[in-house]
A and B are shown apart, each in its own frame.
Chain A
Amino acid sequence: MAKSNAPASKGPITGYLVGIGFLFLAGAFLLGNPSVEIPLAQHNQVRTEQIIPGAFRVALEDPPIVNIGTYDQRCNDCHGLFENTRPKFRELTQHTDIILDHGINDGCLDCHDKGNREKLTLRGGGTVGFDQVAQLCAQCHGPIYRDWQKGSHGKTIGYWDTDLGEATKLTCSQCHDPHSPSFKPMPPLPGPKTLRMGEHYADHGDLVDDKNPLQRWRLNEHEGSNRVEQGEDH
């Protein structure tokens, strides 16, 4: 603090001014907003039922029980009454909810046993129960079956350490609908909305490298050009 025996200099007032200045500053701090406004994005609400773990669908057991009308029926209750003579797929009057879209299969009897509807048929003769559906699928889908056995295809839930609990390897029909096995596209759950992310392009089409030979086939498809039509040998 400047003290002076000399009379009337600028010095003395400075102290007061500084003090008053600081007091104003203190007031400004106390009256100001004690916290900073944060722009937080609305977070994605995901309902628990959208993320249920476990098997994708319920598979039929052996013997299969089907619900028709309000009754639980066994297959042979109806199918035991009639003999099927038609080799190809026809319009169904029962089981109308079934859509058959399974590659080159065009008839029910490709998989279902002609003599006993409660069993599945094997190509070389013989039947398997519905609980061993993998044996049926394996006849045509050999490599997938090998992968499934190894664990690289399909899903095993529960415990990885079988000493501590059960590992449940899901069978084919617990993921795939046997009549229309390919996975149907589903809506994705919401994408990330992290802090200060900003707007993001939904499509990164501009990033496709049009000089890259590895991606030229995609661009050609999109451009609609068809090289076969242009008279090239195939």
Chain B
Amino acid sequence: MSGDTKSLFREYPRFLWRCFQLSFVGDWKYYTWMFLLSVVALFGLNAYAKQFVQGLITTGLTDQVSWGLYIANFTYLVGVAAAAVMLVIPVYVYKNKDLHNLVIFGELLAVVAIIMCLLFIAVDLGRPDRFHHMLLRFNFPMSILTWDVIALNGYLLLNLHICGYLIYCAYNNRRPTRKFYIPFVFIAIVWAISIHTVTAFLYSGLGGRPFWNTAVIAPRFLASAFAAGPALIILTLQVIKVSTGYPVSEKAISTLKGIVTVALGVNMFLLISEIFTEFYTGTTHAASARYLFFGLHGYSALVPWIWTAIGLNSFALIVLLTPASKNRWVLNAACVAMIVGIWIEKGMGLIVPAFIPSPLGEIVEYVPTLNEILVCTGIWAFGLLIYTILVRVTIPVLYGELTVDTVYHTDPELKAKQKQATKESASVSLE
């Protein structure tokens, strides 16, 4: 058996090299998409280079509002990463058959989302060249940020292992050994919940920020993550189906739709709970909430944002609860509305208002600069780039087109012949 194992190890670099080559194979649509993403990503890199030279003064951040768009996107993406668990639980715990062959895409999305999170943190640091200080003096367990570091990196490694193992097994036409991935899957379920809980605790543990210092932050995070994440997955799966023909069943989409509906409902309920507690009680602690929803002392930059977000989320929830959502395009519209609405709510509606007014009552509003926005879009583009490559590589492996003993054909006739020959293992079981 060891000879077998050794050959698997030897095969791995070749596998990676083939994947790398495969990521450059595609039609003009693929190339256009990748080119555009690369352009946006490079603009982001350029903007970050400027920020590295000049410091964080290139952003719109101030001492009063010291966390902004970067941390907002980080928070949102941790939610998206955690939402992969919403695919894993139905398949591995409840043995759902429809989502069975789609879990891998959720886990790949989790990998990409975590990478984007880490990038957002890296660009937010004042001295990224001192990152190694985290390894030398680690304020664990007092600082929740250290918990977050462990949680995020651990989750990344977990998902990289799970995805990598399953894909590599498929590549080698081997049945995956249960003990090498099932325990990790179950750990990942718990871990996914914990990454977003820990991120929520980052905020809710600060007594000096009464807008955050509530118990409802962690449940809201999870609820909105489990709404936005699967919504993103619904859209992504449809894109995958259209561009690669990979089978995505209607039942799979409707299962996800059910998850999204419940999560969004819980999110809206928690929002109402928060609004009531802040405004009915009417303490001075509600100043940040007043700023966010109604404006404070003449400053009201975020008011249109939050009401738009609430409008979008309400629209999405109502649509999902009615039979209208059976229509695929209506469902897609609801998903887009929800994704945008929750992004605004978690970003502009959660991070920024906690800093306004400052702990001393000063109001300085936050407007992200162009440079900051370019870095953010650059990271998003980079993430999409990685995800596209991962999907580009995974599907041929799952179809049996890219395996250890075959040659990858781009010519459609040769590809069809190959498929015929390996029809019985066309959709590799990921069991």
Contact = CB atoms under 8 A, between A and B. Distances in A.
Interface of A: 1-2, 4, 6, 10-11, 14, 17-18, 21-22, 25, 29, 32, 34-36, 38, 194-198, 201, 206-207
A195 B63 CA distance: 8
Contact of A14 (B31, B63, B298, B365): B31
Interface of B: 24-28, 31, 35, 38-39, 42, 46, 50-51, 53-54, 57-58, 60, 62-64, 297-298, 364-365, 367, 369, 371, 410-411
B50 A35 contact: yes
Given A2-B410, A29-B46, A35-B54, 10 more contacts: A2-B26, A10-B27, A10-B28, A21-B35, A25-B39, A25-B42, A195-B62, A196-B364, A197-B62, A201-B298
A200 B57 CA distance: 21
A6 B365 CA distance: 60
A18 B35 contact: yes
A35 B39 CA distance: 19
Contacts of B58: 36, 38
Contacts of A4: 410-411
A198 B365 CA distance: 8
Contacts of A29: 42, 46
Contacts, number: 57
A36 B54 contact: yes
B57 A194 contact: no
18 contacts: A1-B24, A2-B410, A11-B28, A14-B31, A22-B38, A25-B42, A29-B42, A29-B46, A36-B51, A38-B54, A194-B62, A194-B63, A195-B57, A196-B62, A196-B364, A197-B62, A201-B298, A207-B297
Contacts of A17: 31
A196 B53 CA distance: 20
A14 to B, nearest CB: 5
B76 to A, nearest CB: 24
Shortest 8 CB-CB contacts between residues of A and residues of B = A36-B58, A14-B31, A195-B62, A36-B371, A196-B62, A36-B50, A10-B28, A29-B46
Contacts of A10: 27-28
Contacts of B297: 206-207
Interface centre among A6, A25, A201 (most CB of B within 10 A): A25
B25 A2 contact: yes
B35 to A, nearest CB: 5
Contact of B31 (A18, A25, A32, A195): A18
A177 B367 CA distance: 51
Contacts of B64: 194
A26 B431 CA distance: 47
A4 B414 CA distance: 13
